[in-house]
Amino acid sequence: MSSVAVVTGSNKGIGLAIVRALCKQFSGDVYLTARDPGRGQEAVAKLQEEGLRALFHQLDIDDLQSIRAFRDFLKEKYGGLNVLINNAGIAFKVNDTAPFGVQAEVTLKTNFFGTRNVCTELLPLVKPYGKVVNVSSMVSSLALKDCSQELQQKFRSNTITEDELVKLMTKFVEDAKKGVHQKEGWPNTAYGVSKIGVTVLSRIQARLLNEKRKGDHILLNACCPGWVRTDMAGPKAPKSPEEGAETPVYLALLPSNADDPHGQFVSEKTVQTW
Ligand code: NAP
């Protein structure tokens, strides 16, 4: 059975650059996934023109049915998967006029809850020596520092559970809708809080792998790609998408004898203090 790597939200931007790099460096099938099949197939065709072979599967991380259909496909065709890169994400533009409560709900829905749902469905299928990379952001560290002491302590805790994290992320959305998020100790950034969620989720999941699947040698990390020229970040960012893909790809291709990094937040291929 072939090895298989999966990248979420990979029809453009950093995700597409990750797929491009994996097509060159990963010995196995590489799945470019997208919520919109048209945009996904177009990206696959673009890679084909470059002489690269990516496969396509539809995946909308906001849609549990779509996630489960992809899960069943991977189980049936490959008996699991070897590499999972959770890259899909959204960000409101700074000048967007949507109320903060709406921005909080919509941003958390995809970046945190969608990513978590993909993990819930696909992590059990990750094979021994597999790699999982959750694309977070340095913004998560900055937002953490702007949280109340009480929240910072919870997000840095080595014993916080996934349920507790979900409750906190849900509370942020509720507080934002009521306009009391800052009074409740949250920073004034929906994107930042969503990425705190991604980084903390990664720390929890790595701990669970240690507890439940130690012998499987799976490495799971969160990372920041850097500030990258994409539709999300705009044309002024210093890095090309290919440069942005470097750290996620490094984490996805760690050698099978590596024990670390695991459960870390990694930027520029370097472990950061959380
Ligand atoms: P981008 O160019 O806007 O690409 C985002 C990708 O995610 C698109 O393919 C988009 O698909 C997809 N996506 C959004 N919602 C989705 C959903 N519900 N299901 C499936 N796919 C979905 O952004 P990017 O800059 O490449 O960002 C990639 C990741 O890096 C994100 O997690 C972002 O937060 C993170 N990041 C970026 C920077 C930066 O400077 N660019 C910095 C730090 C972290 P559509 O085309 O259908 O919208």
Whether the predicted pLDDT of 99 surpasses 90: yes
Assigned domain for 132 exists: yes
Whole-number Å distance, alpha carbon 152 to ligand 1 midpoint, is: 26
Whether the predicted pLDDT of 1 surpasses 90: no
Query: Which DSSP helix (H) or strand (E) runs through 265?
Result: strand 265-267
CA distance 134 to 221: 6
- pLDDT per position as a tens digit, 100-135: 999 999 999 999 999 999 999 999 999 999 999 999
Q: Report residue 43: phi and psi, to 5°.
A: -70, -40
Distances (CA, A) of 32 to 24, 89, 206, 239: 14, 15, 25, 22
pLDDT of residue 3: 98
pLDDT of residue 106: 98
Residue span of the structural domain in which 35 resides? 4-96+107-138+192-272
pLDDT of residue 138: 98
Q: Determine how many CB atoms are found less than 10 A away from the CB of residue 216.
A: 12
Question: Is 191 among the residues known to form the active site?
Answer: yes
Q: How many domains does the chain have?
A: 1
CA distance 113 to 108: 6
Where residue 39 falls among pLDDT bands split at 50, 70, 90?
A: very high
| DSSP, residue by residue, 176-205 | HHHT-TTTTT--S-HHHHHHHHHHHHHHHH
Mean of the per-residue pLDDT values for the chain? 98
Assigned domain for 51 exists: yes
Assigned domain for 88 exists: yes
- pLDDT per position as a tens digit, 25-36: 999 999 999 999
Assigned domain for 133 exists: yes
pLDDT of residue 73: 98
Would the CB of 39 count as within 6 Å of ligand 1? yes
Assigned domain for 148 exists: no
- pLDDT per position as a tens digit, 41-69: 999 999 999 999 999 999 999 999 999 99
CA distance 200 to 238: 27
Would the CB of 142 count as within 6 Å of ligand 1? no
pLDDT of residue 50: 98
CATH code of 33's domain: 3.40.50.720
Whole-number Å distance, alpha carbon 12 to ligand 1 midpoint, is: 8
Q: What is the pTM of this model?
A: 0.98
Assigned domain for 262 exists: yes
- pLDDT per position as a tens digit, 224-238: 999 999 999 999 999
Where residue 4 falls among pLDDT bands split at 50, 70, 90?
A: very high
| DSSP, residue by residue, 129-146 | EEEEEEE--HHHHHHHHT
Q: Express as a percent the part of the chain with pLDDT over 90.
A: 100
- Choose one of 6, 10, 12 to mutate for the ligand 1 pocket test, by most ligand atoms within 8 angstroms of C-beta: 12
Assigned domain for 163 exists: no
CA distance 107 to 96: 13
pLDDT of residue 197: 99
Assigned domain for 171 exists: no
